[in-house]
Every structure is written in structure tokens, then in C-alpha cells.
Amino acid sequence: MTNSIDYQVMKLVADAYMNNTTTCVLCGADLLGVTIKKDNSDLIYLFVNNHQTATVKVKGTRSHIISIDQQCLDNIKYIIPFAKSLGLPESTTLRCFEKVPEVI
């Protein structure tokens, strides 16, 4: 379990919160990073290979997805555990992918 993608992403988010800093980890061939902007509402950003992939807003005990990059669907394997670690169920994250219209 400790080498799983879910564990690595959730640990990355926890470390960023606990240390109040940007954290990065190499996960397979991808470099993952988490940055947190603290204010009345926290904005938590997930980066995959230095590209902003997802943003979640957390205020108190409520979380919601602000943005998800639709360009690379392979990143869903990182986005789902990222959102889960911030209290969002997998079904909510997957619905966000369904709502965005496909760009041709």
C-alpha cells in the first residue's frame, strides 16, 4: 500500500498542509507537486510535471473542485486521490469530468 499512487498523493497533500509549504514527489515517471494558498478559503493546487492539473477550494469542512485540466485524462489517477484527501468522493470528481464539454 505504501507505494500506491493513492498513498503517495494523499501523503503529498498531508505533508503540504502540515508543513505549510509546497511539496513534490516523483511518482513513476511523473513529478507531482501540491501547493496551498491559505486565506479565508484554502486553495490547494495539484501539479503534474509542472502543469496545473486540479484545484480544490476548502473552507472549514467543505470542499469543492474549482478546476480540472481536461487535456490529459491519464492524470485522473492522481486527481481522484488528490480530491479524496480533501474530502471529496470519487463520484464527485468523475462528475466534473463529465460536465466539461469536449473541445474539438
Q: Which letter does DSSP use for residue 60 in this model? A: T
Query: What residues make up the domain containing 66?
Result: 5-99
Q: Is residue 21 part of a domain?
A: yes
Q: Which amino acid is at 68?
A: I
Q: Is residue 14 part of a domain?
A: yes
- pLDDT at residue 1 in the model: 46
Please give the grid coordinates belonging to residue 54. 486540479
Instruction: Give me the tens of pLDDT residue by residue for the chain, a chain 104 residues long.
Output: 456 999 999 999 999 989 988 999 998 889 999 999 998 999 999 999 999 999 999 998 999 999 998 887 889 999 999 999 999 999 999 888 776 554 43
- pLDDT at residue 3 in the model: 61
Q: Rounded to an integer, what distance in angstroms lies between the CA atom of residue 89 and that of residue 23? A: 23
- pLDDT at residue 99 in the model: 62
DSSP 5-56: HHHHHHHHHHHHHHHTS-EEEEETTEEEEEEEE-SSSEEEEEEETTEEEEEE
Work out how many domains the chain is built from and give that number: 1
Q: Is residue 25 part of a domain?
A: yes
Q: Is residue 88 part of a domain?
A: yes
Q: Is residue 104 part of a domain?
A: no
